[in-house]
Amino acid sequence: MPTDTGYDPSLGRKFIFVTGGVMSGLGKGITAASTGRLLANAGFDVTAVKIDPYLNVDAGTMNPFQHGEVYVLKDGGEVDLDLGNYERFLDIDMTSDHNVTTGKVYRNVIEKERAGDYLGKTVQIIPHITDDIKRRVREAAVGSDVCIVEVGGTVGDIEGMPYLEALRQFAHEEDDDDILFTHVTLVPYSKNGEQKTKPTQHSVKELRSIGLQPDILVGRSSDPLDAQTREKIALFCDVPHEAVFSNSDVEDIYHVPLRLQEENLDDYVMEYLGLEDEAAPVGKRDTEWRDRVTRATEETARVALVGKYGLEDAYISIHEALKHAGLECNVEVEREWIHSENLADGDDGELDGIDGVVVPGGFGSRGTEGKIEAIRYARENGVPFLGLCLGFQMAVVEFARNVLGLDGAHSAELEDETPHPVIDLLPEQEELDDMGGTMRLGTHVTEIVDGTLAADLYDETACRERHRHRYEVNPEYIEDLEANGLVFSGTSGRRMEVLELPDHPYFLGTQFHPEFRSRPTRASPPFVGFVDAISAANGGAY
């Protein structure tokens, strides 16, 4: 029976807690997001919470090479890349309240202790830390039918223990049919080709030792689990045979919901949570996701992503936005990584045969000369180009150097002694000392100039996109830049937000990050225009 938690019971009806074992990087986030997608297809309002047990308050100061992309939410929250997957799979806009970190929790509890809110009590992990965790989960679930909560890391990590204890208490406080625990584990092969269940058994044993019994087990493996493996996992982990699901490798992560639906995961979850009577009938469930991600492509485009982090996770939203645009345009987009430092000496050989160039955001001076060279190559050779944030800024630098003839033009962020700081610090950034959470962040409105490429792409007089930057186009150079042919087609007050070249097949730069709002069923306009331009240049039918 539920106990009195002191919270409004309307703060979320059903909760699915997703944990992982054996090793990190198994794809429990994709498993969780796919479960949410299937429930959304059945007509339920689904939201998600990602728990990150690190001490950082947020992901804003983390190195993308080590931790992957810093994803930006509409309210400016800098979060783990998994929240990007939740937004893309569920087609929702989340806030920083949907990301719980140890830094946030401990900072709040300590600040309350300093303010005397605990009335002299000894402040402890239990109940003060665990109560704060439970409060955050409940409040993030407001207005949803189902809230999916993913616990980062693996069972047994010391950092994750307070969270698992909080979830144990959470389950004790709620009705049994309002809580479901899903545990994702690795099912590897032995050298003789046998699927091994022992890692799963040990992972579940670790979970049970802290008072949590999984209701569903999802085995990650290269191939579907065979019947004997499923039966063994069910027997030794004390779950029904029908509660053991297989999440095997697929060509595209967007096919994972389809694979799990074949396993009847959605029906099992809805029955367990007592939602089957409220679900849309099978024949009337939303099929837009399936229809979109299984569309056949008619042509192929080779796109160069020119950056300095040799890791797909560092640019995952750009990779996915290109994929979404390809789905929209019936084009298979082959994304090719090119290290920007390889282009710094002016050797453009790696760009031969490339159909389009994307220059992403980033920080620091390493690799920027190569990015500028890639932009010059695209501009002079009529190759479709899309510059994002730093890519937008480097397009201004390239134009200033090679069209205006301003030798040494650069960004003041990257070259303190530049004689022509065509990119300079935002005025409101000048007095700031802290690094975390202090940039121009989140959704801002950009006014779009009528009759421009940007106006055609958005088909609106304004757009709302997410930002993450400290520097902007220096107003002192705008008149000269425009007089020589560069068009700023999007503005936000005094700030230049979008640039383009009218006499080019496709040359567009955005100070914002349109990739953060791209979805498989709702591709980002700048990316769709980019892929469309490639298709047109290649004689495509789109």
Q: Which residue among the candidates 98, 183, 467, 513 is catalytic per the annotation?
A: 513
Catalytic residue among 147, 237, 389, 463: 389
Residue matched to tokens 């402890």:
124
Q: Residues near 136 by Cβ (< 8 Å), separated by ≥ 6?
A: 49, 97, 100, 104, 105
Q: How far apart are CA 83 and CA 79, in angstroms?
A: 7
Query: Rounded to whole angstroms, what are the CA distances from 163 to 15, 106, 123, 172, 508?
Result: 15, 12, 17, 14, 45
Burial of 93-118, coded b for 16+ CB within 10 Å and e otherwise, reads ebebbbbbbbbbbbeebeeeeeeeee
Length in residues, the chain: 542
The one-character DSSP state at 238 is: T
Active site residue 255: no
C-beta of residue 352 within 8 angstroms of C-beta of residue 383: no
Task: Sort residue 225 into left (φ over 0), alpha (ψ -120 to 50) or beta.
Answer: beta
Concerning whether 332 is annotated as a catalytic residue, the answer is: no
* 51 DSSP assignment: E
Q: Select which of 78, 398, 465, 515 is catalytic.
A: 515
Cα 508 to chain centroid, rounded: 23
Beta-carbon contacts of residue 174 (< 8 Å; ≥ 6 apart): 2, 15
Find, among 439, 400, 432, the residue nearest to 418 by Cα: 400
Verify whether residue 389 is a known catalytic residue: yes
Alpha carbon 400 to its chain's center: 33
**Which positions are annotated as active-site residues?**
389, 513, 515
